[in-house]
Amino acid sequence: MINTTQKILSFINLQNGEENKKKVIENITSAVSFRGSNIWILACAIIIASVGLNVNSTAVIIGAMLISPLMGPIVGAGFGLGMYNFQLLKKSIKNLLIATAVSLTTSTIYFYISPFKDAQSELLARTSPNIYDILIAFFGGLVGVIAVTRVEKGNPIPGVAIATALMPPLCTAGYGLALGNIKFFLGAMYLYTINCVFICIATFIIVKYLNYPITKQLDLKHEKRVKYGITILILTLIVPSTFFAYQLFIQKNYTAKTQNFIQNEFLNYDYPIIYKNIEYNKSPKRIELAFLGKKFSENEIADLNKKLIYYDIQNTRLIIKQDTFNLGKDIMNRINDSKNLVDQKDVLINELRNKLSQYQFNKSQINKEAKILFPFIHSLTIGNYSYDSKTNTSNIIPVVLFQSKNNIDNDSEEKLKKWLKTRLEKDTIEVYRQNVILKK
């Protein structure tokens, strides 16, 4: 049993394959400094990341994160804290602040002069950090510092740079500054702070675990102060991020319930939805829907609102938009505000399809049927327009022009007229034969 335990501990022992500590410290210390080329590389990476956020390109953002030198001073701060090397800690924090200032300045200038001001999904994703971002930063930091202390570095470093995502929050903060959006700025800076602090804490833990030499021996009192400071900092960041994570869970749970409600009460009955909008942040919350060709009575809408309780959808009002004119205006307003081009295309297609269906006929099929039912017809043409010269008005109604092989009697003309009304499902049509109007 003891041998098995020893084998397991040996198998997971971080001392295996560890680089010489002195060499690691030299590498960390040299990577902390932000001078000359590092500043230029950082500024260029910030521009690339800003462009990626601006055009919503994940690939470009990843590329920027891979060339960013921001990890250096953060890991240096963790080493300085773990070895009680306060000179290295101060130098790391100083250079991190310089890098942050350069990044914010560069991204702010870019977004200020950029003609594209829309907040894309990649930008919005960096404005509301939660507990998951803490987990990513912490375990990403663990991987990063473990790789740094290995003889064989392997390929974890690029993955850590992508996972911890230090660049996008800084660019988003610059976007908030450029547009004067304080909410975006604070949310992005909070995410950036979370990433920096928890990478630093992960580094601190590994440095202590690997027994890196202490530069300055602290008495028990000062050591406790350091530990208390770290604990307070962790709690300060964890508490609000946990709250945000809980809010995210509640919102996703609410969205799942509303989707279940819409599926069971509408989609299962083949009611095509042409417009859907869920207002989660209003009080009461709102579910706005519009349907293609389906009308609901006030009693039906009231019953559907009562069913929301059955689906455990609280403090919510169901609104079904049925005013065609106002709905069209509202849809267009939503499209202008919306950044989702696919939704915009679908709404427009459904709107146009609904309108065109009122005026389109299968002319070829009607022509064939007419020739079978009325052998005297030589050709038949259908259009959608009529002009009344007496009242100087125009009406969009079916207009039929036909040619006959021979003269036809009034009864045949009347039968043709009635059949066309029934076939076209119209109460009013106009029929012309050889420039002679058939009586309505």
Domain containing 135 — which CATH number? 1.20.1080
Structural domain count of the chain: 3
Size (the chain), residues:
440
List the single range of 248-262, 277-291, 341-355 with lowest mean pLDDT. Answer: 341-355
Name the band, by pLDDT with cuts 50, 70 and 90, for residue 373.
Answer: confident
Phi, psi of 272 (to 5 degrees): -70, 125
Angstrom distance (rounded) from CA 199 to CA 92: 13
> In the predicted model, what is the mean pLDDT of residues 109-118?
85
Residue 355 has pLDDT above 50, yes or no: yes
Residue 120 has pLDDT above 60, yes or no: yes
Question: Which tops the pLDDT comparison, 42 or 336?
Answer: 42
Give the mean pLDDT of the chain: 78
The whole-number pLDDT of residue 395 equals 60
- Can the peptide bond before residue 129 be classed as cis, meaning omega within 30 degrees of 0? no
| 433 SS3 class | strand
The strand order across the sheet containing 393-404 reads 377-388, 393-404, 430-433, 436-437
- Which of 201, 217, 233 is the C-terminal boundary of a domain? 217
Report the percent of the chain where pLDDT is more than 90: 6
- Can the peptide bond before residue 213 be classed as cis, meaning omega within 30 degrees of 0? no
Question: Residue 323 is part of a domain; what is its CATH number?
Answer: 3.30.300
> In the predicted model, what is the mean pLDDT of residues 222-239?
76
Q: Tell me: do 343 and 370 sit in the same domain.
A: no
Name the band, by pLDDT with cuts 50, 70 and 90, for residue 391.
Answer: low
Question: Which tops the pLDDT comparison, 297 or 375?
Answer: 297
* Residue 3 in domain: no
Q: Which residues in 202-214 are b (16+ Cβ under 10 Å) and which e?
A: bbbebbeebebee
Name the band, by pLDDT with cuts 50, 70 and 90, for residue 435.
Answer: very low
The top-scoring range by mean pLDDT among 100-104, 142-146, 204-208, 252-256 is 100-104
Name the band, by pLDDT with cuts 50, 70 and 90, for residue 105.
Answer: very high
Q: Tell me: do 262 and 398 sit in the same domain.
A: no
Q: Tell me: do 334 and 373 sit in the same domain.
A: no
* Residue 243 in domain: no
Phi, psi of 34 (to 5 degrees): -115, 90
Question: Which tops the pLDDT comparison, 119 or 113?
Answer: 113
Q: Tell me: do 322 and 397 sit in the same domain.
A: no
* Residue 244 in domain: no
Which two structure tokens, joined as six digits, stand for 68?
Answer: 């960013």
The whole-number pLDDT of residue 265 equals 87
Question: Which tops the pLDDT comparison, 289 or 127?
Answer: 289
Q: Tell me: do 155 and 185 sit in the same domain.
A: yes
Angstrom distance (rounded) from CA 209 to CA 267: 57
Question: Which tops the pLDDT comparison, 202 or 376?
Answer: 202
- Taking the alpha carbons at both ends of the chain, their separation in whole angstroms is 103
> In the predicted model, what is the mean pLDDT of residues 52-68?
82
Q: Tell me: do 170 and 288 sit in the same domain.
A: no
| 385 SS3 class | strand
> In the predicted model, what is the mean pLDDT of residues 192-196?
87
Q: Could you tell me which residues come within 8 angstroms of residue 252 by beta carbon, excluding any fewer than 6 positions away?
A: none
Which two structure tokens, joined as six digits, stand for 126?
Answer: 């960096």
The answer to whether 127 touches 172, Cβ cutoff 8 Å, is yes
Parent domain of 307: 252-356
Residue 345 has pLDDT above 70, yes or no: no
Residue with token string 């819409």: 262
Q: Tell me: do 43 and 147 sit in the same domain.
A: yes
Report the percent of the chain where pLDDT is more than 70: 78
- Which of 356, 385, 409 is the C-terminal boundary of a domain? 356
Angstrom distance (rounded) from CA 363 to CA 286: 44
* Residue 222 in domain: no
Q: Tell me: do 373 and 349 sit in the same domain.
A: no
What is the CA angle 373-378-382, rounded to 5? 80
Question: Residue 407 is part of a domain; what is its CATH number?
Answer: 3.30.300.30
Angstrom distance (rounded) from CA 208 to CA 231: 16
The whole-number pLDDT of residue 97 equals 92
> In the predicted model, what is the mean pLDDT of residues 217-238?
75
* Residue 239 in domain: no
Angstrom distance (rounded) from CA 398 to CA 428: 8
The whole-number pLDDT of residue 140 equals 85
Q: Tell me: do 79 and 163 sit in the same domain.
A: yes
The whole-number pLDDT of residue 351 equals 60
- Tens of pLDDT, residues 275-285: 788 888 778 88
Question: Which tops the pLDDT comparison, 326 or 52?
Answer: 52
Q: How far is CA 167 from CA 37, 47, 63, 117, 161, in A?
A: 18, 10, 11, 19, 9
Question: Which tops the pLDDT comparison, 188 or 380?
Answer: 188
Residue 170 has pLDDT above 80, yes or no: yes
Residue 26 has pLDDT above 80, yes or no: yes
* Residue 9 in domain: no
Angstrom distance (rounded) from CA 440 to CA 425: 15
The whole-number pLDDT of residue 70 equals 82
Q: Tell me: do 46 and 117 sit in the same domain.
A: yes
* Residue 223 in domain: no
The whole-number pLDDT of residue 275 equals 79
- Which of 356, 374, 397 is the C-terminal boundary of a domain? 356
The top-scoring range by mean pLDDT among 142-146, 256-260, 343-347 is 256-260
Q: Tell me: do 67 and 194 sit in the same domain.
A: yes
Residue 412 has pLDDT above 80, yes or no: no
* Residue 226 in domain: no
Q: Tell me: do 258 and 313 sit in the same domain.
A: yes
